[in-house]
Amino acid sequence: MKIVIIDYGMGNIHSVAKSIQVCGVQPIITNKKNEINSADKIILPGVGAFDDAMVELKKLDLISVIQQQINGKKPFLGICLGMQLLLESSQEAKINQGLGILKGQVVKFSSRQDLKVPHMGWNDCKVVAKDCFLLSGISGQAQVYFCHSYYPEPADKSVIAATSSYGGEFSCVLHQDNVYGVQFHPEKSQAIGLKIIKNFVQLC
């Protein structure tokens, strides 16, 4: 099995790679189109700003490649910023639109005085979709690790597979067909995160 982690200079690449290795697969870290096109599964990690990430993907001419692979029904996992990029737009972005794979936008947490932003640390992941293979074996109130100021707000609420709560409920796992996105960092979420990564590795 060939699992590709897209390296566009914005991701927690090596931690993600290590978690996949623990699952018995040696991933390929690359930004080469031919490697991405020949992958069985693709992971898009990401840490940083929405605009900067889209600029890097454009520089590498990877936007259409990613869209084509997703449209070809290849299993795809976006992590943190990598998941946010799957949506159409972000309140953080001044220039760039997202990949437009999922309808909706990325919004910022409220700046209420009692709510620290970014949202950092362990929080719940409440599974709301029973048919999402990525979350197989995950209990209803699992704890996962977050580090973000923005979160996805999909137009179609049926793609929300799990939620968390921080100043109100927000979506933290999205699933549509072959596309999965997690707002938290599974590679930093210990046993629960490793189970999620293993589920992705085992996807048919």
Q: Is 187 a residue of the active site?
A: yes
Asked if 172 and 125 touch (Cβ cutoff 8 Å), the reply is: yes
Distance CA 118, CA 183 (A): 13
Among residues 119, 148, 175, 185, which one is catalytic? 185
Among residues 56, 80, 119, 204, which one is catalytic? 80
Distance CA 95, CA 184 (A): 25
Distance CA 170, CA 181 (A): 14
The 3 state secondary structure assigned to the chain is CCEEEECCCCCCHHHHHHHHHHCCCCCEEECCHHHHHCCCEEEECCCCCHHHHHHHHHHCCCHHHHHHHHHCCCCEEEECHHHHCCEEEECCCCCCCCCCCEEEEEEECCCCCCCCCCEEEEEEEEECCCCCHHHCCCCCCEEEEEEECEEEEECCHHHEEEEEECCCEEEEEEEECCEEEECCCHHHCHHHHHHHHHHHHHCC
Among residues 148, 172, 175, 187, which one is catalytic? 187
- State the catalytic residues: 80, 185, 187
